[in-house]
Structure 1
Amino acid sequence: MLTHRSPADLYRHGLRLLLAADIDGWVALWDEDGVFEFPFAPPGAPARLEGRAAVAAYMRDYPAHIALHAFPRLEIHETRDPETIVVEMAARGRAVVEDEPFAMDYIAVVTVRDGRIVRYRDYWNPLNAPASLRP
C-alpha cells in the first residue's frame, strides 16, 4: 500500500519512476479505476483509458519508444481542490526507434485520492510526437 503523499510528491515520484523506465512502478501509482485522458489525441489513438489495467497495457511498450533522460522544467501548481494539481513540464530524451532527440512539453491535470492517481488529463501535442508514437 502506498503511503499517503501529496499529489505533488506522488507526481514527482512518478517522474523518477519514468526516468528509471520502471513502468510497472509507475502504473502501480494508479487507482484500480483510474482514468487517463488525452484531450488532444489524434484520430486512431486512444482518447480515454479506464482502469489501471488499460493504463498498464497502454504504457507497456513505452521504453521501446521513448528513453527519457530528464525533465528540465517542472512546475506544479496546486489548485483549490487539495487532491488536484496542474503540471507544466518539459521532457527530454531519445526516440528509440528513430534514434533521434525527443523533446515534448506537457500540461497535465492530475487528481490523487488516497495516495493513488484517479484521473490524469494529459495535454500533450501529438504533432510533436516521434513517428513511432503516431497511430
Structure 2
Amino acid sequence: MTTSLTPTDLYHRGLRLLLDKDIAAWVTLWDDDGVLEFPFAPEGWPKRLEGKAAVLDYMRDYPEHIDLHDFPDVTVHQTDAPGKIVVEMRGVGRLVKSGEPFDMTYIAVVTVADGRIRHYRDYWNPLALPQDGAADFAGRVR
C-alpha cells in the first residue's frame, strides 16, 4: 500500500497515524532496517535506534506520555536526493501526566526508499519540554 506514496504523502500519513495514536500502524511505514536518530538527545536518552523493532519499542507508549492534538504547521521541502525530504513542523497537545501544554517545533530529515522510511533524523529540542514531562518520557526510554 505505501509503495505508491511519495515521501511527502508517506510523511503526512505518518502524522495522521500519530494523531490517531496508532503507533503500530505508524511503525508499519518503516523499513525493517530503518534508522531513527536524535542528534540533540541529552545524556541518558537514545541517540540512535536501529531497526523497526527498536523504533516500535521506543514509540510504543508515546501516547501515554504526550497527547498530540494537531500538527498546525507542516512544511515539506523537496531535495535533490532521491526520496529525501526535509520537514519543518510544529506539534501541539498536552503532557498526559501533568496536563501541561505541549508545543514543540521540529526539523526532520527523512529518507524513503521502496515506499518505507529508511532513515529519519529528528531535530527536536528535548530541553523545551517541561522538566516533569521530560523526566517522565526520558525515564521510559533509558
Q: Give the TM interval when normalised to the shorter protein.
A: over 0.9
- Decide which structure has greater helix share: 2
RMSD: 1.0
d(CA) in 1 for partners of 2:128 and 2:98? 14
Gaps of 5+ in 1: none
The normalised TM-score by structure 2 is 0.92
Q: Secondary structure at the match of 2:4?
A: coil
Amino acid at match of 2:42: P
Would you say how many aligned residue pairs link Structure 1 and Structure 2?
A: 135
d(CA) in 2 for partners of 1:99 and 1:30? 30
Question: Equivalent of 1:133, from 131, 134, 137?
Answer: 137
d(CA) in 2 for partners of 1:83 and 1:2? 13
Is residue 17 of structure 2 the alignment partner of residue 4 of structure 1? Answer: no
Aligned to 2:31: 31
d(CA) in 2 for partners of 1:5 and 1:45? 32
Deviations 1:57-111 (A, max 9, x none): 0001101001110001000000001300000000000100111110100000000
Residues 126 and 134, structure 1, Cα contact 8 Å, conserved in 2: no
d(CA) in 2 for partners of 1:100 and 1:2? 35
Q: Secondary structure at the match of 2:97?
A: coil
d(CA) in 2 for partners of 1:42 and 1:31? 26
CA displacement at 1:3 relative to structure 2: 3.3
Identity %, equivalent residues: 62
Is residue 101 of structure 2 the alignment partner of residue 101 of structure 1? Answer: yes
Residues 106 and 124, structure 2, Cα contact 8 Å, conserved in 1: yes
The normalised TM-score by structure 1 is 0.96
